[in-house]
Structure 1
Amino acid sequence: MSYKLKVIGLLELEAFQKLYKQNWPKYCPEYYCLDNFIEFLKADPQIKNLKLFTLEGEQARYDALFVVVDRYQIFVGSINNTNGLTRQALDLLDWSFGFKCSSIPSRHIEALDNVVRSKELNLEFRDATDLFYMKAEDALMLKVEPPSGFIFKSLSEADAPLINEEWPNHHLGSLYFIQRQIRMCVNAGLYTEETQELVAWCIRLQGGYLGALQVKDCHKRRGFGSLVTREISHRLATQGHDVMALVGPSNKPSAGMFSKLGFRIIDQCVWLRTKPTTGEFTWPDGE
């Protein structure tokens, strides 16, 4: 049987998201990924470089199968990973410019790996991460006051250049990405009260995870990373959201911090970047 990709919109995403509530928290990565993109579309229905797909046919709808192409990143979800439809959907994408496959839950990794092999794609990296999870009711207990001389505030887009420069994963187009995430998603920053210097921060990424967690070098080893993690987790929990974070197995300090705060590992996810097959893509100015 031949399949075709079908473009979907806000109403379909909202219908799919409801299906991911079953067997909680098994499908929380898909649920919160859709939660972010639903809010993105509500805030900006004409958001640039965002494409949303499923496959034609009833089965894909029953499976809540989605593939989100957000600029150069792919997010994928399905409540059924046994019928080959996830692989079919991924196979139909145009991989010529390369994709960063972001926070792919373990149940979909085989489908992704099969597409990479069949298309003979070369990889820039393939990294496994542990999915740390905390229920909202527990995250509400993480609220903490900042130390004397410091305040918590939401980040502003004016903070984006610093955050992008300090971010180990910064790349072509990442400044726009950071600006958008600050504008669209829950975030938290720790600032000096007197000079308003930003010293630590964390942002919810599109996949629903805590990310870009960073402390300026001159303020490290003071527990500020844990403080902003507690603050953003509490902010998410007040909105009724459970909290997720992805940590590489070799990142012992971060894994230890999340474990100490009470997060538990419930799954593994893969980050995978394919190399372009027809040349590098160049983003327009400002994007």
Structure 2
Amino acid sequence: MRNQWSLLRDVYQEDRTNLTGYDLINIYINCNDKAHDVKIYTTNNDWLEHGTFVLIHDNINKLDIYLNTLNGSLRELENLLSSLQLNDRAWFFGYRQALKLTVNNFCLERGLSLKKLDQMETYVYYLPKRAVESFNCRLIADIYLASLSLNHAALVDEHWPYRSSDSLALIKDRIQSYISVGAFDGNGQLLAWCLRSVQGSLSNLYVLPSYRRLGLASLLVRHMAKEIAATGAEVLATIAFGNEISQLFFEKLGFKLIDSIVFTMVPGL
């Protein structure tokens, strides 16, 4: 079905703010190095109408799973998940609240307790194009911006609140495969950074404590927004429930709250 992935992608082209839609599928279409590790499954031959799919990326020691539907049957989506006989450890990435019951039922079918699942919910924020166009990316004195390299991955991982046994590999993939930016001093020391996730949202925004209140975080987000918008994609950010400081920061820059999504880690059998 790989030769039909672009058709499935285009089913979602009317809403580029959907984190498990057009841009996600498009990234996997263009990542040839991941082609043999990725499969997409649909529920029936009418997928061009309802857009129902499960995308599975066999990512070394776990499965990265993305699922969505526009107007298909949630029961059919649930049956599709069951039929795939997924026994490995799996991350269900950024699915809509409407699909939470589908994933929960999948976990219950495996005999798992929902109370023991590693689950996180986040808000989705969207930056209107007019806000991006108004951004001024004037540099701060003695600071320059550049893309990150794999040499910076360990530092980014060290300061990520969601650091885990999988996070360094995830960060390396984000740096290697997608847009990123770092703020450096005149000696080339990395002071702050911002990455982009496979789903297209801003991620891993961080400023080292000694360099805060200089406007670096705002500068990095404005720079990333310009870069992402130039590709034709929407500028999105995800913020964990309860992180009011980050919410206020992004709202001040013009981001609008549009949705909430769920991430779930399912242990292997």
Alignment of 1:40-189 (within 5 A): 40-41=31-32, 44=33, 46=35, 50-55=37-42, 57-70=44-57, 71=59, 72=62, 73-122=64-113, 123-189=116-182
CA-to-aligned-CA distance 1:37-60 (integer Å, 9 cap, x gap): 22213xx2656xx32221363123
Summarize the Cα distance change of 1:56–1:85 in structure 2 as closer, same or farther, 3 Å threshold: closer
Between the aligned partners of 2:137 and 2:83, the Cα distance in structure 1 is 47
Between the aligned partners of 2:30 and 2:205, the Cα distance in structure 1 is 22
Contact in 2 for aligned 1:140/1:237 (Cα 8 Å) = no
Which amino acid in the other structure matches residue 214 of structure 1?
A: Y
Contact in 2 for aligned 1:189/1:199 (Cα 8 Å) = yes
3-state DSSP of counterpart to 1:247: strand
Summarize the Cα distance change of 1:17–1:136 in structure 2 as closer, same or farther, 3 Å threshold: farther
Which amino acid in the other structure matches residue 66 of structure 2?
A: F
Quote the offset at 1:263 in angstroms. Answer: 0.9
Q: Does 1:228 align with 2:220?
A: yes
Structure 1 moving runs of 4+ over 4 Å: none
Quote the offset at 1:250 in angstroms. Answer: 0.4
3-state DSSP of counterpart to 1:163: helix
Which amino acid in the other structure matches residue 106 of structure 2?
A: V
3-state DSSP of counterpart to 2:46: helix
3-state DSSP of counterpart to 2:241: coil
Please, what TM-score do these two structures have when normalized by structure 2?
Answer: 0.88
Between the aligned partners of 2:129 and 2:232, the Cα distance in structure 1 is 6
The total of aligned residue pairs comes to 263
Which ranges of structure 1 fall in alignment gaps of 5 or more residues? 1-7, 278-287
3-state DSSP of counterpart to 1:58: coil
Question: RMSD between aligned alpha carbons?
Answer: 2.1
Quote the offset at 1:213 in angstroms. Answer: 1.3
Please, what TM-score do these two structures have when normalized by structure 1?
Answer: 0.83
Between the aligned partners of 1:220 and 1:195, the Cα distance in structure 2 is 18
Which amino acid in the other structure matches residue 42 of structure 2?
A: L
Between the aligned partners of 1:215 and 1:170, the Cα distance in structure 2 is 16
Between the aligned partners of 2:163 and 2:19, the Cα distance in structure 1 is 27
> Identity percentage over the alignment?
21
Partner residue, 2:204: 212
